[in-house]
Amino acid sequence: MTPRDVEPRLLRAFLAVAEELHFTRAAARLYVAQQALSRDVRRLEQTLGAPLFVRTTRAVELTPDGERLLPLARGVLRAHEELAGAFTAGAGPRPLLVDLNTDGPGTARTVLDRARELAPDCELMARFESGLTHAAAEIAAGRLDVSFGYADGLDPALRSRLARTPVRYEPLAVLLPEGHALAALDAVPLDALRGETVYTGAGNPRTREWTGLARELFAGRGIASAPPAPVAVGKEEFRRVMAKTGCPVLATVGFVDMPGCVKRPLTAPVPLSPLSMVWRKGSSHPGLDALRRAAEELGAAHGWLEVPPDSWLPALAPSALTPGPGGG
């Protein structure tokens, strides 16, 4: 076999290991035995006459030849998928799996709805993974295509494998039990939460980026994060837990209304969560193009990327847009 005759399977094996930098995870991603994956990588190295990975007991790293092959392999596999799709009778692009975090209204849902209008021939399937930390790992593993959330709060190693585009600086809110003293306010100043214990998803491995953002927001304000607790799934279970604990919950202003509580925007300063859309680097799909266009259109129409003067952003927020004078 010569480099001109390389099988797509060998390139898929190389790409999985290059993106995971871990043979066991790459094998799980491709649903193959690790021995078979290692054999395909060795065969590709023999065909190209160059080592592609440096393997040690602690790490797997790309060699310079592996780095050089990476964009070429992505291009070849992309072209191979396009070729197969073009000559499959009656087949359009594969469905795109889009995580919205939760099932309800919100920024991500608005972007998805507009993208469906822009690309009516694409099947954009909604998923609800409840947390970008988990969804991003699923994207990197090839089991999900797109998600939304606070990408700057992800682990840097995971974040480096994702492409992203900013969507919105999303104002935060607090969910309060109906009988809570602050529920009578139209908006809740952050200082009014001093002494409160607020649920922020602590202990939930799916939402570490959100818990980290909340920790940064609460620092020095006398607001405590609630200890880890089982996640309430479903509106009725959420209502029961809210009534039992009386614990406020940090949310976004677009979070779905829940029974037994009221949602109030936070102010003085207005805390903002930098919401991004993320996908796996090298991915190509007309539905992804539609999502990016939808986010751009909606952002421009509604001023989603404008930062009010009296606002707060986490330290890891993109530096191109920062709060004006008076930010917290």
Read off the pLDDT of residues 233-247 as tens digits, 9 standing for 90 and up. 666 776 776 767 778
Structure tokens at 228: 């880890």
Q: What is the pLDDT of residue 232?
A: 64
Strands 311-312 and 270-280: parallel
| pLDDT, tens digit, 9 for 90 and up, residues 279-294 | 998 888 999 999 999 9
Q: Report how far residue 147's alpha carbon sits from residue 128's, in angstroms, rounded to the nearest whole number.
A: 9
Indicate the angle between helix axes 8-20 and 64-86, nearest 10 degrees. Answer: 130
Decide if 322 is inside a domain. no
Decide if 290 is inside a domain. yes
Cβ neighbour number for residue 181 with a 10 Å cutoff? 9
Decide if 31 is inside a domain. yes
Looking at the fold, whether 116 and 254 belong to one and the same domain comes out as: no
Q: Report how far residue 151's alpha carbon sits from residue 156's, in angstroms, rounded to the nearest whole number.
A: 10
Structure tokens at 99: 């995580």
Identify the residue whose tokens are 């871990």: 22
Decide if 295 is inside a domain. yes
For residue 95, pLDDT over 80 is answered with: yes
Looking at the fold, whether 279 and 163 belong to one and the same domain comes out as: yes
Looking at the fold, whether 81 and 114 belong to one and the same domain comes out as: no
How confident is the model over 152-174, as a mean pLDDT?
Answer: 93
Q: What is the pLDDT of residue 19?
A: 83
Looking at the fold, whether 178 and 250 belong to one and the same domain comes out as: yes
| pLDDT, tens digit, 9 for 90 and up, residues 108-158 | 999 999 999 999 999 999 998 889 999 999 898 888 999 999 999 999 988
Looking at the fold, whether 47 and 177 belong to one and the same domain comes out as: no
Which pLDDT band, with edges at 50, 70 and 90, does 74 fall under?
confident
Residues with Cβ within 8 Å of 325's Cβ and at least 6 positions away in sequence, in order, are 309
- Could you tell me which residue, 235 or 89, shows the higher pLDDT? 235
For residue 71, pLDDT over 80 is answered with: yes
Q: Where are the alpha helices (DSSP H) in 199-262?
A: 208-218, 235-245
User: If you average pLDDT over every residue of the chain, what do you get?
Assistant: 86
How confident is the model over 59-69, as a mean pLDDT?
Answer: 91
> 63, 86, 109 — which closes off a domain?
86
Looking at the fold, whether 177 and 264 belong to one and the same domain comes out as: yes
- The Cα diameter of the chain in Å comes to 74
Looking at the fold, whether 254 and 182 belong to one and the same domain comes out as: yes
User: Taking the C-alpha atoms of 123, 256, 258 and 136 in order, what is their torsion angle to the nearest 10 degrees?
Assistant: 70
Q: What is the pLDDT of residue 130?
A: 80
Looking at the fold, whether 179 and 260 belong to one and the same domain comes out as: yes
Looking at the fold, whether 196 and 261 belong to one and the same domain comes out as: yes
Q: Report how far residue 194's alpha carbon sits from residue 251's, in angstroms, rounded to the nearest whole number.
A: 17
Structure tokens at 196: 């409160």
How confident is the model over 222-231, as a mean pLDDT?
Answer: 83
DSSP helix/strand/coil, 23: helix
Strands 188-189 and 261-267: parallel
| pLDDT, tens digit, 9 for 90 and up, residues 183-213 | 999 999 999 999 999 998 888 888 999 999 9
How confident is the model over 262-267, as a mean pLDDT?
Answer: 95
Residues comprising the chain, all counted: 328
Looking at the fold, whether 217 and 258 belong to one and the same domain comes out as: yes
Looking at the fold, whether 23 and 153 belong to one and the same domain comes out as: no
Decide if 42 is inside a domain. yes
Q: What is the pLDDT of residue 53?
A: 93
Query: Which CATH number is 64's domain given?
Result: 1.10.10.10
Cβ neighbour number for residue 205 with a 10 Å cutoff? 11
Indicate the number of domains in the chain.
3
Decide if 316 is inside a domain. no
- Cα–Cα distances in angstroms (integers) from residue 79 to residues 75, 84, 202, 228, 296, in the given order: 6, 9, 43, 46, 27
H or E stretch at 296? helix 286-302
Decide if 318 is inside a domain. no
Indicate the angle between helix axes 34-48 and 23-30, nearest 10 degrees. Answer: 100
Query: Which CATH number is 256's domain given?
Result: 3.40.190.10
Domain of 125, in residue numbers: 96-168+274-310
Decide if 122 is inside a domain. yes
For residue 217, pLDDT over 80 is answered with: yes
